């Protein structure tokens, strides 16, 4: 067995991964620059990125990775056009692509959610571009180290492939993931399900792993949870459901809904489950894209929600506004952004307040 655990583990030291709705010190991003991810539409994707930054920077610091001076200048120009007003900090940390959720460090805090002063720890997992699909990825794999060094927080690395978009936590001991992704042999073929659960518990300070099945059609990550089901409060989830029996997402999402119905929290209380609609299919050159409202990002005062110019947009935003009454739900069209096979949650990585 490879991927030995550090000693002591973060869990043994009292660390845990906080929920996304817990206070952020900042959000970290990587500026989109890979033409192959948005063929012919890169600038349009960058403008959507700028709109996201404008909405987010009103309530928290935003860090942005750029490859060089020219890229920083281009980003600043777009941010000015989008009227970004807030604390935005650029870093000359080169990347291969823009998906900071998956290549960024996953940060832990020490102490319960009720404490306001908590130590932070960066966990650095191996990144292989979703099963070696898009080499090279060496620059992306180095981003967690650079983030931790810049923030001057301790870092613990583990030789196990894990992307931030493949997990979600409620901050109170529960972790959601999917078998389609974490048990895929293109990630950690040397590790069993029990091995993976042990590493998630010890590295992220969680108590119980909740496994869903397949992801949505078009998701090149092999079933990331952040396109399917998300925690919105301790023991409470919102999950994407497709109402059209003829749609290819109908079966896997209904199966996941059935699995959620049988899941419980640490006190054996059933999870509270709220459903979220799916947008109508978004297709590019015959390819179904992974458009999902579940790919929202919870900021300090906003919930950034991808929209797709279809009737379900309003219902999705209304559902999320009900779930987050103290935050403003901001819908931003992601029809272009999702050409790159991701949206707001895929682009962001929260830095918890510590």
Distances (CA, A) of 101 to 13, 133, 150, 167, 295: 25, 17, 18, 10, 11
Structure tokens at 297: 């990002």
Maximum separation of any 2 CA atoms in the chain, in Å: 54
d(CA 199, CA 176) in angstroms, rounded, equals 14
Q: Are 25 and 53 in contact (CB under 8 A)?
A: no
- Strand order of the β-sheet with 174-178 is 168-169, 174-178, 208-212
Catalytic, out of 100, 172, 317, 346: 346
- Hunting for tokens 């991701």 — which residue is that? 342
> Any alpha helices (H) in the chain, and if so which ranges?
42-56, 69-81, 100-103, 129-132, 138-141, 143-151, 179-182, 193-204, 250-261, 312-323, 344-347
Cα of 227 vs its chain's centroid, Å: 9
Is 346 among the catalytic positions?
yes
Q: Are strands 272-277 and 236-241 parallel, antiparallel or unpaired?
A: parallel
Q: Are 300 and 208 in contact (CB under 8 A)?
A: no
Q: Are 123 and 158 in contact (CB under 8 A)?
A: yes
Task: Spell out a b/e string for 129-156, using b for 16 or more CB atoms within 10 Å of the CB, else e.
Answer: bbeeebeebebbbbbbebbbeebebebb
Active-site residue list: 346
């Amino acid at each position: 067995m490879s991927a030995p655990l550090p000693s002591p583990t973060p869990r043994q030291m009292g660390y845990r991964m906080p929920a996304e709705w817990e206070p952020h010190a900042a959000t970290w991003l990587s500026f989109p620059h890979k033409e192959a991810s948005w063929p012919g539409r890169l600038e349009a994707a960058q403008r959507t990125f700028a709109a996201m930054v404008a909405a987010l920077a009103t309530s928290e610091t935003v860090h942005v990775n750029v490859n060089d001076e020219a890229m920083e200048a281009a980003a600043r120009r777009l941010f000015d056009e989008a009227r970004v007003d807030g604390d935005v900090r650029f870093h000359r940390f080169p990347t291969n692509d823009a998906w900071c959720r998956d290549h960024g460090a996953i940060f832990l805090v020490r102490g319960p959610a009720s404490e306001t002063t908590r130590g932070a720890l960066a966990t650095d997992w191996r990144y292989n571009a979703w099963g070696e699909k898009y080499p090279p990825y060496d620059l992306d794999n180095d981003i967690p180290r650079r983030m931790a060094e810049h923030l001057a927080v301790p870092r613990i690395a583990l030789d196990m492939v894990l992307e931030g978009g493949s997990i979600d936590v409620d901050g109170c001991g529960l972790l959601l993931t999917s078998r389609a992704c974490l048990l895929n042999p293109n990630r950690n073929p040397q590790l069993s399900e029990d091995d993976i659960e042990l590493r998630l518990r010890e590295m992220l300070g969680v108590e119980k792993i909740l496994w869903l099945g397949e992801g949505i059609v078009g998701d090149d990550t092999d079933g990331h949870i952040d396109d399917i089901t998300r925690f919105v409060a301790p023991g409470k989830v919102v999950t994407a459901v497709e109402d059209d029996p003829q749609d290819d997402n109908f079966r896997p999402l209904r199966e996941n809904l059935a699995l959620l119905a049988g899941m419980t929290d640490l006190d054996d209380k059933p999870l509270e489950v709220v459903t979220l609609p799916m947008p109508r299919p978004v297709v590019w050159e015959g390819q179904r894209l992974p458009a999902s409202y579940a790919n929202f990002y919870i900021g300090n005062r906003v919930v950034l929600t991808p929209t797709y110019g279809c009737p379900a947009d309003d219902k999705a935003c209304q559902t999320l506004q009900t779930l987050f009454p103290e935050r403003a739900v901001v819908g931003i069209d992601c029809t272009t952004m999702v050409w790159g096979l991701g949206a707001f949650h895929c682009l962001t990585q929260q830095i918890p307040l510590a």
